[in-house]
Amino acid sequence: MKRILIVAFSFLIVGASCNTLKQIASILVPSEFEMATGLKDALTQGLFKSFDAFADPNGNPLVRFAFPGDAAKIEKTLRDLGLERTVDQVTGKFTRATSSAVRAAKPIFLQSVKQMSIKNAVNILVTDNTHAATEYFKTTMSPELMVAFRPIVDSTINVEGTNKDWSQIVNVYNKIPFINKPLETSLTDFIAARAIDAMFGIVANEEEQIRTKYEFRKTDMMKKAFGYAEEELKRRAQQQK
């Protein structure tokens, strides 16, 4: 009788242990919602880093105005043509206009992250691509961001008076023989696209830090989601050995 009781008790312990392990597993493995929330928290944190960068554009070369394409060659050509003062004016005005536009559009960018539906969050979260969430955000939201951002950029351009300076530069530069790629005539689209690209660059850098360094995970959802991703990648690497 004692032996039967001991065996039964052992089964109870094993069963309880299995249930406990299942409970622990359910806590450690984030749900699809938690994964998506952790990803959105990371993107939002990256956006705030970009807002800070644009707030002081002179202190961050990544967000200062630069001519498109072969920037150094274009700038040298314009200066050689006697447009040195105009180039200096454009550089300063564009930087200020872009900074003002980003500040004004801040709610649009943050709202776009909140509204974003992250499909297959687990595939975006558990990956060797340290910029996966940023790339997904950029692919899915860039067209909408451009539409919303364009009128804001347009108004800041008019305030700074950059459209006149740009027209002068474009008219001179695009008339040079054998120019491989003419300068974009639509100043609004050019600045909007460049600002969005610069912002996504900063967001991508922040995502990489969040994925690789625990101290960059500022919210509980980020800690849970990216902590799980980190361990899952380690587990997969062990299985491949």
What would the pLDDT profile of 2-30 be if each residue is shown by its tens digit? 555 454 444 444 444 444 433 334 447 99
For the ranges 94-98, 167-171, 182-186, 196-200, the one whose mean pLDDT is highest: 196-200
111, 24: one domain: no
Mean per-residue pLDDT, 86-103: 85
pLDDT of residue 25: 41
39, 22: one domain: no
Q: What percent of the chain is modeled with pLDDT above 90? A: 39
4, 89: one domain: no
61, 97: one domain: yes
15, 123: one domain: no
pLDDT of residue 212: 96
54, 169: one domain: yes
173, 123: one domain: yes
Q: Is the pLDDT of residue 137 over 90?
A: yes
48, 123: one domain: yes
Mean per-residue pLDDT, 42-68: 87
22, 63: one domain: no
212, 227: one domain: yes
82, 114: one domain: yes
16 or 113: which leads in pLDDT: 113
52, 118: one domain: yes
Question: Domains in the chain: how many in total?
Answer: 2
pLDDT of residue 75: 84
Mean per-residue pLDDT, 156-171: 82
Position 240 confidence tier, pLDDT thresholds 50, 70, 90:
confident
Q: Is the pLDDT of residue 102 over 70?
A: yes
Give the pair of three-digit tokens for residue 136: 């997904």
In this structure, which amino acid lies at residue 5? L
pLDDT of residue 22: 38
Owning domain of residue 10 = 1-30
Position 1 confidence tier, pLDDT thresholds 50, 70, 90:
low
**Cβ proximity of 45 and 134 under 8 Å:** no
Q: What percent of the chain is modeled with pLDDT above 70? A: 88
